[in-house]
Amino acid sequence: MKVLATGFDPFGGESINPSWEAVRQLPDWIAGAEIRKARLRTAARAAEETIQTLMREEAPQIVLCVGQAGGRFGVTPERVALNLDDFRIPDNDGDQPVDTPIFEDGAPALFSNLPVKSMVQAIRIAGYPASLSDSAGTFVCNHVMYTILYHIAKEFPAMRGGFLHVPFVPSQVVERPSTPSMSLPDITAALEIAIAAAVAAYDGRQTGAPLS
Ligand code: PCA
């Protein structure tokens, strides 16, 4: 089995993006699955093209894209993506769509078909903060998540896909009092656990009781 994991380049004046820093440090194999890693540009059109090409060329069973959500506490698998671009800042290519559908023929929202609750539970059991998120925002991360789920619905019905947001790392909050952060090794460990839970679910293995 093959898992495609991606992170993003830095945006919004940051010098690092913990999503890519964590993804690049993942082992090459997790729970018997080969991990393919790629860095996406924090730019809607470029990232959309890259993820679409990777889904076609790599043909992974599971695709998990990861992004930074500064200010969040713990890692947050995303439940749903909206068919909407509404960027509060320009992306890294200077584009700033407002109230624009991503795909004209797409549903208003698409749900991740990854086992998001099992992923949250597995991460928490291992001792790292995690919770389910019901909003991936309306910026590039939501754009990429919607793109994945749109192509899964249209072209790759056997593929599982979704998105996971990670917090700032400590070096990013030095000048931001009272802002949560998580160390890079902890984010990386949590990601590895999330992927292992997704692989186990794909294989039909049980990963614990559902969240109450
Ligand atoms: N986070 C942004 C885009 C890239 C990233 O890492 C977001 O949440 O949309």
Contact 166, 66 (CB under 8 A): yes
Q: Is residue 210 part of a domain?
A: no
pTM score, two decimals? 0.96
The CATH number given to whatever domain includes residue 166 is: 3.40.630.20
Confidence band, pLDDT 50/70/90 cuts, at residue 205: low
User: In ligand 1, which atom is closest to the CA atom of 11?
Assistant: 4
Q: Which domain holds residue 15?
A: 2-202
Whether the per-residue pLDDT at 135 is higher than 50: the answer is yes
Give the Cα separation of 43 and 147 in Å (integer). 13
Q: Is residue 21 part of a domain?
A: yes
Whether the per-residue pLDDT at 209 is higher than 70: the answer is no
What is the domain count for the chain? 1
**Residue 68 CA, ligand 1 centroid: distance in Å:** 5
Mean pLDDT of the chain: 96
Contact 26, 196 (CB under 8 A): no
* pLDDT for position 204: 87
Q: Is residue 170 part of a domain?
A: yes
> Catalytic pick from 65, 78, 151, 192?
78
* pLDDT for position 211: 45
Q: Is residue 208 part of a domain?
A: no
Neighbouring C-beta atoms of residue 127, cutoff 10 Å: 10
Q: Is residue 212 part of a domain?
A: no
User: In ligand 1, which atom is closest to the CA atom of 17?
Assistant: 6
Give the Cα separation of 150 and 103 in Å (integer). 8
Contact 191, 143 (CB under 8 A): no
96-124 burial: b if 16+ Cβ within 10 Å, else e? ebeeeebeeebeeebebbbbbbbbbbbbb
Q: Is residue 42 part of a domain?
A: yes
Neighbouring C-beta atoms of residue 16, cutoff 10 Å: 15
Q: Region 25-29: what's the mean pLDDT? A: 98
Q: Is residue 211 part of a domain?
A: no
